[in-house]
Each structure stands twice: as structure tokens, then as C-alpha cells.
Structure 1
């Protein structure tokens, strides 16, 4: 059934002030000017979150399919129409069981894939990752997970300085799995080697990374400088100063900067005690930190809040929308299906009021209840 949604339409090339999105079934059939449009709401592409651990009191990190379904539904209510279920560092058995449990949800379309953030990470830059599970990359483990997932495993974050990391990156990219650099103490040269091997994402840039130094630029500069690397940024005012958010965005450009939530179960929930990867987390004033040492432990962010934060920090609306939808979709290999208001793509869109609060969400041509 054909349908038209009117308003200020944000496309990858700019804003159509009096515009409309036309769709038939689950596909966009036209994006056009519509001078008689009176609805002043923003019409933006459905958000694509390539890095989230949970929300609404539910988590992806335990590999429980029912919890994953509820977490995805929570984020859908905040405009995220496509997401990866991110796990944290854990034993291989949990990685295997989670892959098996989430594969049907990927086939069903509830999840766009699985993201393993770890366990092949730096002990020196582990952040809120559980140090007891950190280890060198195993191509045997990864090959088995990729085969078990049959397309469900979409991204793996690892530290390129660990033994076997470059071989792991080559194996992942050969199977069309995104290799991401994160939680790393790598040098500039080690990071460049990872990019040369096929790594194409920087996991929450700056956070969990060796800091920039003028005699050893480290991973941040290497990733920002690489023309084929998409850099994740957590726009919550906690992970990054707004000056660093806008600096990284202007350096990489909106086509290489992707906003993520890095949310955990406490997103959308009251302050209190939570858990992440077997570790106690305390949430106070909406900020999640490990109870034992105060390290930032993910976020309580949603993608609509990330968009608002970026715009308030001075990033133009069209650029911010690329960063919450178009760029992450392309980064995880889904740019030909979702991530923009363009003819032929899936009809995923979010209607926002002038304060950029969610009014309605559409996924695959159907309004979300």
C-alpha cells in the first residue's frame, strides 16, 4: 500500500524543507519536494547503532535471546531500526552460545548481526572489559564462530598489538566480517598495520585507547587519518568533551564518523546497581561506571539522545543524521539496504519534533506501536 510522509526530509545530501517520503510496502519509492506539506516535523532515516550492549533493563551480553529481543524493542522505540548486538569480553563458550542464540534473531531481522567487543583486547586499556577474560586472538575460535553464525557475526573489535591480531583481521575480512580496532595500547605503526590488513572501524575512538602524543601519535591519529576507517563516537558528554566530538567529526567528516550508544542494560532505566560482563556497575546521574574502580562502563544513551547531543554541540542536522544512520550502515556492510531516505532502500524512518524528540518510528514500512 502506497503511503506518503510529509515534513522536513533529511537526505544524505541535505534537507528538503517542504518534502515527502513516499513508500510502497517496505520500500522507499520517492523522496521529493512537496510544497503543500504543512507538517513541520523532521523526517530522518531510521537510526543504525553498530555498538550497543543493551537497554531498557535488558542485555545482549549474556547471549539470552529473549533479553536481546526486549533490548532491541527498547531501542526501536527510540528510533533505532537497525542494530548490532554487542557482547563484551567473555569465555569462548558464551561467545559460541550467544552466536547460536542470536542467529535466529538475525535471520528474523530483529538484529542486524552480532558484534564481539573482545575478548582479544589490551589489558592496559581494558576499561570496563573484564580483565580475566582477555586473551590473544584465536583464528580457530573466530573461524568456528563465523561458520556457526552463517552471516550473523558482523563485527569483531580487537587490539592489533596482541599476538595473532593481524591474522585474525585477515580471516575476518575474508569472511566479510568487519574488523574493528579498540581497547588498544597499539602504536601508530601497529594501528596502521591493522588498517592495511583490513581493519575498517575504530571502536569508540579515544575511549579505551592509548592517548595521542606528539612523538607517538598512537591509534587515534592512525584511525582518524585512514581514509577507509569509520570512527565510532559516543556523543553523551561523558565519553567525549563536545570539543573533541566536533574536532573528530570535522577531521574524519560525517562520512567517516559514526555515532554509537555503547549503551548497556541501564539505558532508559533508573539509577542503581547493574551488571556488565560479570562485573558490578553503578549508575548515578545517568552515568554508568564500574563499581570497583569507577571506569566508564558503557552508557545509558539512546540514538535519539545522541543525535540531539551532536546537533546541540554544533554539528549540522544533515551531517548528524548521516552519523546516526548512513555512515554506520555503510560501515557494517548494510548501506545498500538501510541508513538513508533513498529510493529502493527499506522504509525505515523517524519522525522528530522541533526539539528532536521522537514522535513516531517506522520500520520496513510499518509504524512501530
Structure 2
């Protein structure tokens, strides 16, 4: 196989692992009788993908707030090469959000597929103007009291900086180094965006989508993403963002600062039809998921397809394309000492795929959890 590390593709090598990665050695030096051997038949051996923004898949949604839903999402996405993820909430009634948070808190270590690393809280602290597919009637101002009981499970908070009076919420939360504050669903001006970044915003949610766009007289939130070193997500289905806009983002930010996400809703890995997201009807065809008025409502993208798109359609080399779905997201949520790349001592979260990024095998902490 061809082993994809943080900086190169290794050939003629063997990867030795149990629960963690033990060594990478010359293939010829392996005494096969000493090991259980998996021959990957010349395919790629890659670090597992990490999806830090995913609402659902396989017919289930984070907001279903049940162990069965979390388990189904967790198992379904292993088919797409995901070995860990952040189930992502929606702007819904307070009780619904709390049920989802409680469910994740109580069950995150019990799922049998991709590992749950925590929660991405998307809303309810967002802009009404750029609400996207979020329900406006449940949008509220940022509140520490709203989240204080779940600080141990929340990894990312998507919020609109302009709705945070004097940046008090951002200023206070920025002291908690375990939580990433992300600018998203925002109508903020360039100046407000820059000021919020100086206060503690350090990430951008699905860049270009649901944020004030770049204009030469008003650079907006997108301009602030371009002009600072914050990390940023992108939905690389080429429906949410034009391929050349993504190429421009990569030229400006570099491949180290861009994170591939799916923003997938429950219709991910499912047939076309009518589904729901955040209590609203969503119409799904082969390429997208939309509300009745045509607004994009999450996606049906898979992470292996996102990696394929940036590699094959934008010409990004495979090392960087994989890094944007593995090491980069791990760094954003400060999990890169344990996962995110093929390195001795890190968890054996590994995937095998071919040139088309079809997942052949998914291994989590040394255990095979999916075989094509």
C-alpha cells in the first residue's frame, strides 16, 4: 500500500499497529508469521477523516437526541472514511438543544462506529439575516448561562459576532482554551469581524456560506477570513461554493488553514426524497438538500467525496487533500496529539481507499469497523 503521512506518500513500507501506531518499517523486513497481515493491494493507507461539522447521516440527525440516532450516524459515516466527528446541533427550542447535548454527553463513549469527540453547537447565537436553514424564531443572543452545564462536551460554538454586545460572550469564552469560537451565520462588517477575531474568534463556519460576502468596498466576514490567520471550514461539494472560489481560498489561506467538512444532514448516504432539518422540510436530489424556498439546507456530501473533489477537480496533491480532512480538523479542536495523522504513538485510526477515494476498510483504535 501507499502510506499517506503528514508530509509525503511512503511506498514499500509496512505500518505496524495495535490500538496505536507502533512503527513504520521497510516491508521486506517484516516477518509475516509475527503479525496478523492486512494486504491493502496497493491502495492508499490514510489517517481516518475527522468531520467537525455534521448534523446527520443514514436517516438520523443529532437533534433526534437518542442513542440509536447517534449510533446510526457513527456507524454510517465509517463507510465514508470518518473515524471521529462532532455531532452538530441546530437553532431549535432550548429544550431540544438540551436533549441533544445530554444525549451526546451521556452516550458519546458508547457508540460503536466513528468516535464522538464532543459537540459543534451551531446556533442559536446567530444572525437573523444570514440564518440559512436555521429557524429564526429560536435565535437568541449569546448567553453563558445557556451553555454553562455543557462546557465539558462543547468543542465548537458557531455564532454571529455582531449579536454579542461589546463582545462580552466572546471575551469570556475565549479564556476557555478547550472551546473554539467560530464566526458563522453572520452579517457582520469587516471591522466587526476583525475586532471579534482580536477578542477570541479563531475559526470560520462553512466559509462563504451564510456570511457577509467579500466586496471591494465592504470586505465583510469573508474578507476577515482572507486577511487573518484563523482556520476555516469549507463544504467542497461545488454546490455550496464554486470550485474557483475554493481555489482562491486555498491560495490565500494555504492548505494548513482550510478544513473540509460535510455539514451533512440526515439524508447523507440516503436516497433522494423529502427529509427534515431543524424541524423544517428539506427536499433532497442527487446533488443538494434545500428548503422549499430553495435555500441550501446542509448537504449530502460525504468526506471522502470532498477529499476526492479537491484532489481530482482542483488538482491539490493527495497529501494536502487528506490533511484538510484529518490533521487540520484535529488541530482546530486540539486533538492532534492523539489523532489526525499517521505517526508513531497516535491512535490507529486508519482508512484504506483507492484512487477514486472509495473506502475499502475503516479501522478505529486498531479495530476494523467497516469493510467494503
Please report the TM-score for the alignment, with normalisation by the length of structure 2: 0.92
Offset, 1:52: 0.2
Q: Do residues 300 (structure 1) and 303 (structure 2) align?
A: no
Offset, 1:296: 0.4
Which residue does the alignment assign to 1:50?
52
Q: Do residues 30 (structure 1) and 31 (structure 2) align?
A: no
Offset, 1:302: 1.0
Would you say the 8 A contact 1:106–1:152 is kept in 2?
no
Structure 1 outlier segments of 4+, above 6 Å: 35-38
Coordinate RMSD, CA, aligned: 1.7
Which residue does the alignment assign to 1:68?
70
Per mean C-alpha deviation after superposition, the further-off stretch among 49-58 and 241-250 is 241-250
Which residue does the alignment assign to 2:311?
311
Per mean C-alpha deviation after superposition, the further-off stretch among 205-214 and 249-258 is 249-258
SS at match of 2:145: helix
Which residue does the alignment assign to 1:111?
116
Which residue does the alignment assign to 1:211?
213
Would you say the 8 A contact 2:63–2:96 is kept in 1?
no
Which residue does the alignment assign to 2:257?
256
Q: Do residues 166 (structure 1) and 167 (structure 2) align?
A: yes
Would you say the 8 A contact 2:90–2:97 is kept in 1?
no
Offset, 1:165: 7.3
Give runs of aligned pairs for residues 190-201 of structure 1, distance below 5 A: 190-201=192-203
What are the superposed Cα offsets for residues 282-316 of structure 1, whole Å, 9 maximum, x if unpaired?
0022310012x110001111111111111112111
Offset, 1:33: 4.8
User: CA–CA distance in 2 between the matches of 1:38 and 1:106?
Assistant: 31
Q: Count residues with an aligned counterpart.
A: 356
User: CA–CA distance in 2 between the matches of 1:55 and 1:38?
Assistant: 27
What are the superposed Cα offsets for residues 83-128 of structure 1, whole Å, 9 maximum, x if unpaired?
0000111122222222111112334474111111001111111111
Please report the TM-score for the alignment, with normalisation by the length of structure 1: 0.92
Which residue does the alignment assign to 2:126?
121
SS at match of 1:116: strand
Offset, 1:38: 8.5
Structure 1: where are the runs of 5+ without partners? Answer: 1-6
Say if 1:91 and 1:211 are closer, same or farther in 2 by CA, change over 3 A. same
Would you say the 8 A contact 1:139–1:167 is kept in 2?
no
